[in-house]
Amino acid sequence: MNQLSKETSPYLLQHADNPVDWYPWNPEALALARNEDKPILLSIGYSACHWCHVMAHESFEDAATAELMNRYFVNIKVDREERPDLDRIYQTAHYLLTQRSGGWPLTVFLTPDDLLPFYAGTYFPPVARHGLPGFRDLLVGVADLYRERHDEVRQQGAALQRALSQAVNQRHPSVELGPQLLARAVEALAERYDADNGGFGQAPKFPHPTTLAFLLRRWLLSRGGDEVDLKALEMLAYTLKKMALGGVNDQIGGGFCRYSVDDYWMIPHFEKMLYDNAQLLPLYATTAITTGSALFRRVAAETGQWVMREMQSPEGGYFSALDADSEGEEGKFYVWTTDEVAALLSEEEYLYFAHRYGLNRPSNFEGKWLPHVYMEYEVLEKQFSRPESEIRQIIDMARNKLLAARSGRVRPGKDEKVLTSWNGLMISGMAIAGRLLGREDFIDSAEQALAFIQRELWVDGRLLATSKDGHAHLAAYLDDYAFLLDAILELLQARWNAAQLRFAGKLADVMLKHFEDHDNGGFFFTADDHERLLERLKPFADEALPAGNAVAAKALGRLGYLLGDNRYIDASQRCMAAGSGLVAQAPVAHCGMLAALQEQIEPPRIMVVRGEGQALEEWAMALAAHSDPRTLGFAIPNDASDLPPALAIKSGRDEGPVAYLCEGIQCAEPVVELADFTQLLA
């Protein structure tokens, strides 16, 4: 048993029984390295990472390898989901050292006194292969390098520090961003678009939900017929369709895997991450409502149901991830033999299921079948001369039988830590999907998650980043505050709660006090009282998650207009100005910032409905079904108290509600007839 046994991260606990004398990243481990003048072997990964498991089995569980690690290094294991600050810094350092993109597991060797990397890589095999050195040989070589060429290591470290500082602190002059940049971004995405299979680029194919959200927003705001707008809709809808029909979407149980290993979205890397599904859920729900797609509506519903069934704790918070592996095999939980399926289904069910999902074709995964839609319902209807509605019913019965049978299998491991930032994304997703699809259970789920965060992760006026088994810790990051603030603004549109609005104001105030760059605008990833690291990053570019600065700019602007508070609007505008040079250089890498830009070009409209009883519910339903991204809609009972002035106007009418629309800082005349209200929404 090493030093990880008392940690809360499931990833760290997976390594608690390794013969490696692992430490978590803490002052004791760093002091030990300094005192013994031993370099640090820093290993960063996460619980659902397949190659992290492979390297652990091959090297960290091997006694001979562990002996070398313990002899030459102080070994520190980090969960990148708990410590994204460390991961961002050392991924950047890896790129500067190797000129290659990083990934997980990330393996970095640091000098003990200044924590600067002098050698870095990702996965290393136990013996040399595929152009990679064997890990044991690497350990000896790196130890010799540190001991025998100490001055060179120091010089390289100093050069890396300068390069890292320059990369992080490079000043990009503020430029004026206009609508033409949005069209440029769509055109640039079109150049990368895979017109055959949907998505952008080649395998491995990632969903890129922030990019898709930008395309959706572009189309919704225009609804025009110009070529750019139609291209945005085409890329969005076709990509969503191909993912929905592919194996990357769990055709039996719902929920999306992290990425596809092929161009066709057929075979995924089987891990399921909360953050992917949190972003895809509202995309499918919104596109379903605006295009009338029954497929997208079904996928949104199944994704939300999967979240509540498998990813929400009894206490309310959302868990982080499901592993790719079960029983030591990747994808074993999700794949089938034809004999297994035939034994569970009637002859009629098997016939239609096999044609739709490819069981009548050669196997697509190591001699087994992962369900992937080969024949759409209209094709089945023609081939079998049977109504589509009947075929759907038969296949749904088959899917339910397979889901029940699959539930008896050994499940993939679940990372049950609750991350504030990822929960913010999912609260937002469930609130939007619940509102648009009329799913009160989705909204209930989102409220339970927010209540958990307020109860367990809001301590002494500050957020904590992670919680597991009743233990919350680690100072929160920009993403935690920005994503949660954005989520509350979405949840308030699904169901009004004045206490939640007050909480949103508290989050925003902490962001302005502890995260804002008061000299240059924008927000740092870590707070001003956070542990001091090599650099204090200020990210504007999207990764798997939208950039924290992008979400902060959008959410603060919205909150400012909602409350009539210029502090938040000004901070939003400073943030956009700080990132404008980067956005202008590479708009496609900053789709989150482009969404915030759209709201600066056209400030959000705020629609408020005040009333009571059944009449208010009727107006609220009309408001809830509205999907204009420019409009924030709030249905507030007359008896609601402690409201900001902009929301405090009551109907004062016995015969029904009143609605009023504000654009920016100007409000229109109230509307008192439902027909006029629906026309105003249109």
pLDDT of residue 662: 85
Lowest mean per-residue pLDDT among 57-66, 158-167, 321-330, 564-573: 158-167
Contact 371, 355 (CB under 8 A): no
Lowest mean per-residue pLDDT among 23-27, 143-147, 365-369, 617-621: 617-621
pLDDT of residue 13: 96
Length of the chain measured in residues: 682
Contact 465, 82 (CB under 8 A): yes
If pLDDT is split at 50, 70 and 90, which confidence band does 672 have?
confident
pLDDT of residue 654: 59
Give the C-alpha separation, 59 to 352, whole Å. 47
Q: Tell me the CA distances in angstroms from 38 to 3, 29, 142, 154, 439, one per residue in order.
A: 17, 11, 11, 14, 57
Determine the 3-state secondary structure of 16 from DSSP. Answer: coil
pLDDT of residue 652: 59
Q: Tell me the CA distances in angstroms from 207 to 216, 257, 486, 653, one per residue in order.
A: 14, 9, 21, 49
Q: Which long-range contacts (CB under 8 A, 24 or more apart) does 571-575 make?
A: 571/511, 571/512, 571/516, 572/596, 572/600, 573/600, 574/516, 574/521, 574/522, 575/521, 575/522, 575/523, 575/549
pLDDT of residue 625: 79
- Taking only the tens place, the pLDDT of each residue in 394-410 is 999 999 999 999 999 99
Q: Tell me the CA distances in angstroms from 548 to 125, 422, 556, one per residue in order.
A: 35, 12, 12
pLDDT of residue 669: 84
Lowest mean per-residue pLDDT among 312-316, 382-386, 617-621: 617-621
150, pLDDT greater than 90:
no
How much is the average pLDDT of 16-26?
A: 97
Q: Give Cα 47 distance to the centre of its chain.
A: 16
Cβ burial, residue 473 (10 Å; 0-12/13-18/19+): middle
Which of 98-102, 148-152, 342-346, 613-617 has the highest mean predicted lDDT (pLDDT)?
342-346
Contact 97, 107 (CB under 8 A): no
The rounded percent of the chain whose pLDDT value lies above 90 is: 81
Rg (C-alpha) for the chain, rounded Å, is 26
pLDDT of residue 627: 76
How much is the average pLDDT of 549-570?
A: 95
Domain ranges of the chain: 10-169, 179-326+415-601, 334-408, 605-681
Q: What's the chain's average pLDDT?
A: 94
Q: Which CATH number fits domain 179-326+415-601: 1.50.10.10, 1.10.645.10, 3.30.1180.20, 1.10.260.40?
A: 1.50.10.10
- Taking only the tens place, the pLDDT of each residue in 2-12 is 999 999 999 99
DSSP for 110-143, please give it: E-TTT--EEEEES---SS-BTTB--HHHHHHHHH
What single letter denotes the amino acid at residue 20?
V
Contact 179, 229 (CB under 8 A): no
DSSP for 263-278, please give it: TTS-SEE--EEHHHHH
DSSP state letter for 256: B
Cβ burial, residue 615 (10 Å; 0-12/13-18/19+): middle
Q: Could you give phi then psi for residue 163, rounded to 5 degrees? A: -65, -40
pLDDT of residue 572: 97
629, pLDDT greater than 90:
no
- Taking only the tens place, the pLDDT of each residue in 275-302 is 999 999 999 999 999 999 999 999 999 9
How much is the average pLDDT of 180-206?
A: 95
Identify which of 370, 389, 372 has the alpha carbon closest to the alpha carbon of residue 380: 389
Contact 85, 477 (CB under 8 A): yes
651, pLDDT greater than 70:
no
447 Cβ contact partners less than 8 Å away, ≥ 6 residues apart:
491, 495, 497
313 Cβ contact partners less than 8 Å away, ≥ 6 residues apart:
319, 416, 418, 452
677, pLDDT greater than 90:
no
Contact 413, 322 (CB under 8 A): yes
Q: Tell me the CA distances in angstroms from 518 to 328, 513, 586, one per residue in order.
A: 50, 9, 25
pLDDT of residue 666: 77
110 Cβ contact partners less than 8 Å away, ≥ 6 residues apart:
33, 39, 40, 42, 116, 117, 118
614, pLDDT greater than 70:
yes
Alpha helices, DSSP H, located in 407-510: 420-437, 440-456, 478-494, 498-510
664, pLDDT greater than 90:
no
What single letter denotes the amino acid at residue 542?
D
Alpha helices, DSSP H, located in 193-273: 209-222, 227-245
- Taking only the tens place, the pLDDT of each residue in 209-264 is 999 999 999 998 876 668 888 999 999 999 999 999 999 999 999 999 999 999 99
pLDDT of residue 398: 98
CATH of domain 10-169: 3.40.30.10
Q: Tell me the CA distances in angstroms from 606 to 45, 403, 502, 631, one per residue in order.
A: 43, 43, 18, 6
pLDDT of residue 642: 80
Give the C-alpha separation, 92 to 116, whole Å. 12
CATH fold for domain 334-408: Arc Repressor Mutant, subunit A (1.10.10)
**What is the CB neighbour count within 10 angstroms for residue 670?**
17
**What is the CB neighbour count within 10 angstroms for residue 307?**
26
pLDDT of residue 345: 98
pLDDT of residue 656: 77
pLDDT of residue 228: 85
Give the C-alpha separation, 445 to 316, whole Å. 7
612 Cβ contact partners less than 8 Å away, ≥ 6 residues apart:
637, 638, 639, 651, 657
